[in-house]
């Protein structure tokens, strides 16, 4: 089959969304689709059951209902349907009050939005904010606390401090106990208090009903509270209050995002595999990674607005698919690593290795046809900057294919709310179908929970070290002695690292000798 015929037969266009899927640069044999058809039909049936309210997350005995966010009529009860619809209406109503200057801060009209969250409570909002921003027309400028890095927090506050009284804060955490988010909230609260402002008059919570954050917001008189439902996971929450509220406040059409997602959901419900873009994409992932994650996914959007899409997809794909055990309890160590930035920038960063180095990846190109709104100047006779961008994309794709490097291309007419919603839905559905093909639970994250527990252990050790040093004020102690004193002689390395950080951050209280040689280092606490 020649290149043109392959392209013609493996190219699919979806006019409802102005999107196309090109699989012509994947060298799968035709028999692959027929061989996989029974398994894909099983996956599609399981997806149908999931949307109907089946317990799709057996580990946590939960339904998985993020598809109901853009089509509430699918929800398994009239009560849930009503709640989702009313929540979207409340989000829009709040945004209107802010934009009409009816809801203000103590310093006047809300002009800034500070979103405090981490993981799924930040990655989606960041991606959407960047993708759909209109710097000259957005009614609010968006900032993020998305980590517990004090220096990063200070960088954001340095910009916001002069206008904190005009800054609305969204604090997003399902449990209300996520340390990074809690820390960001307390840092923000302190900054407001220091500026003589009441934080509660500038704060909104997006959280689980009855959570620690919910109770805190009530007791401190926050402006509003919006729900996070237990049937929506963090990495699939962008089209719920987590993502819709900051988008609406920024001035983005959330109805457009929901409509695009709903349209893609409808397309990906098709039981005809060849006509289902998510089914075909999941099958390509399976083929390209041997059904066991043998290759990484490099996401290259040729559009600056989509630069954060690969970062968003890292969590969606890696947290969903990266699992030690399958549904039968068998050790499988599944996963697809995701990385990428944007074209053509990355052509100058790592395309050299992609073309000639270790063949441990496949590429997902994202092409956007519309160059910009308005006139494009010629940078050469008859050629615009956008022409160059497309040329670099097509050239890179061909250069990689010449060396046996395969790729998938998604082409969008433009970047608008409908397109963004559709892209989110396409990858969500692809993840779910792929997970079924490899027999894993896509909707839990035991590794994340293990990491949180480990971090808690370290924090407890820090407190023990501090107490030990204070109780032996003025004495210089080596690391094994300190570790033994707190009853953790095996934790010498951790004790050393904790104390080095203490010396750097609290030089008036913590002193050290020969700090650069762990076995010789001695530490002391002084008043």
Active-site annotation, residues: 319, 348, 452
Cα–chain center distance at 136: 26
- Give kind and range of the element (H or E) at residue 526: none
List Cα–Cα distances, 472 to 418, 468, 475, 481, 511, in angstroms.
63, 6, 6, 12, 13
- Which of 199-230 are b and which e, b meaning 16 or more Cβ less than 10 Å from the residue's Cβ? bbbbbbbbbbeebebbebbeeeebbbbbbbbe
Instruction: Give the closest residue to 351 by CA, choosing from 289, 398, 410.
Output: 398
Q: Please check whether residue 76 is in contact with residue 52, taking contact to mean a CB–CB distance below 8 angstroms.
A: yes
H or E element: which one contains 238?
A: none
Angstrom distance (rounded) from CA 15 to CA 30: 26
Q: How far apart are CA 449 and CA 455, in angstroms?
A: 10
Contact in structure between 268 and 427 (CB atoms under 8 Å): no
> Nearest Cα to 289, choosing from 322, 331, 327?
322
CB atoms near residue 447 (< 10 Å): 13
Q: Counting every residue, how long is the chain?
A: 527
Phi, psi of 146, rounded to the nearest 5 degrees: -125, 25
Task: Classify residue 11 as exposed, middle or buried by CB count within 10 Å of its CB (0-12, 13-18, 19+).
Answer: middle
Element holding 512 (H helix, E strand): strand 510-513
- In which element (H, E) is residue 173 found? strand 167-173
| Contact present, 421 and 415 (Cβ < 8 Å) | no
Half-sphere exposure of 183 (CA within 13 A, CB side): 14
Q: How many CB atoms lie within 10 A of CB 527?
A: 7
């Amino acid at each position: 089959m020649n290149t043109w015929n392959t392209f013609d037969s493996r190219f699919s266009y979806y006019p409802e969304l102005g999107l196309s899927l090109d699989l012509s640069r994947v060298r799968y044999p035709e028999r692959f689709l027929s061989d996989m058809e029974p398994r894909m039909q099983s996956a599609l049936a399981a997806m149908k059951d999931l949307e109907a309210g089946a317990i799709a997350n057996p580990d946590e005995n939960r339904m998985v209902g993020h598809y109901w966010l853009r089509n509430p009529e699918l929800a398994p009860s009239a009560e849930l349907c009503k709640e989702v619809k009313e929540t979207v209406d409340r989000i829009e109503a709040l945004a209107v009050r802010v934009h009409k200057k009816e809801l203000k801060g103590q310093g006047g009209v809300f002009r800034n939005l500070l979103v405090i969250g981490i993981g799924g409570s930040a990655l989606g909002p960041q991606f959407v904010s960047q993708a759909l921003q209109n710097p000259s027309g957005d009614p609010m400028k968006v900032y993020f606390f998305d980590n517990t890095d004090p220096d990063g927090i200070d960088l954001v506050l340095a910009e916001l401090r002069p206008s904190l009284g005009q800054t609305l804060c969204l604090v997003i955490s399902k449990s209300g106990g996520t340390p990074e988010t809690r820390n960001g909230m307390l840092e923000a609260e302190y900054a407001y208090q220091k500026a003589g402002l009441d934080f509660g008059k500038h704060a909104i919570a997006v959280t689980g009903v009855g959570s620690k954050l919910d109770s805190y917001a009530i007791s401190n008189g926050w402006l509003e509270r919006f729900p996070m439902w237990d049937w929506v996971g963090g990495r699939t929450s962008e089209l719920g209050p987590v993502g819709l509220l900051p988008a609406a406040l920024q001035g983005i059409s959330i109805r457009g995002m929901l409509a695009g997602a709903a349209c893609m959901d409808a397309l990906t419900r098709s039981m005809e595999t060849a006509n289902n873009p998510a089914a075909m994409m999941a099958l390509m992932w399976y083929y390209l990674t041997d059904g066991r994650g043998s290759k990484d996914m490099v996401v290259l959007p040729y559009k600056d607005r989509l630069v954060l899409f690969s970062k968003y997809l890292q969590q969606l794909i890696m947290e969903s698919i990266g699992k030690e055990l399958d549904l039968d309890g068998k050790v499988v160590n599944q996963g697809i690593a995701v990385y990428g930035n944007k074209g053509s920038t990355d052509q100058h960063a790592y395309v050299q290795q992609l073309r000639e180095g270790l063949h441990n990846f496949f590429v997902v190109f994202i092409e956007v046809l519309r160059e910009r709104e308005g006139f494009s100047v010629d940078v050469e006779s008859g050629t615009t900057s956008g022409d160059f961008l497309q040329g670099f994309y097509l050239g890179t794709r061909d250069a990689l294919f010449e060396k046996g490097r395969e790729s998938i291309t998604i082409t969008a007419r433009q970047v608008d709310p409908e397109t963004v919603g559709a892209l989110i839905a396409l990858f969500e559905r692809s993840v779910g179908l792929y997970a079924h093909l490899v027999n894993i639970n896509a909707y839990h994250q035991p590794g994340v929970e293990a990491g949180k527990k480990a971090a808690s252990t370290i924090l407890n050790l820090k407190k023990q070290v501090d107490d030990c040093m204070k109780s032996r004020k003025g004495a210089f102690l080596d690391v094994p002695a300190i570790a033994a004193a707190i009853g953790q002689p095996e934790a010498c390395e951790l004790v050393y690292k904790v104390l080095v950080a203490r010396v750097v951050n609290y030089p008036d209280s913590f002193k050290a000798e020969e700090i650069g040689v762990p076995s010789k280092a001695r530490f002391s606490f002084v008043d």
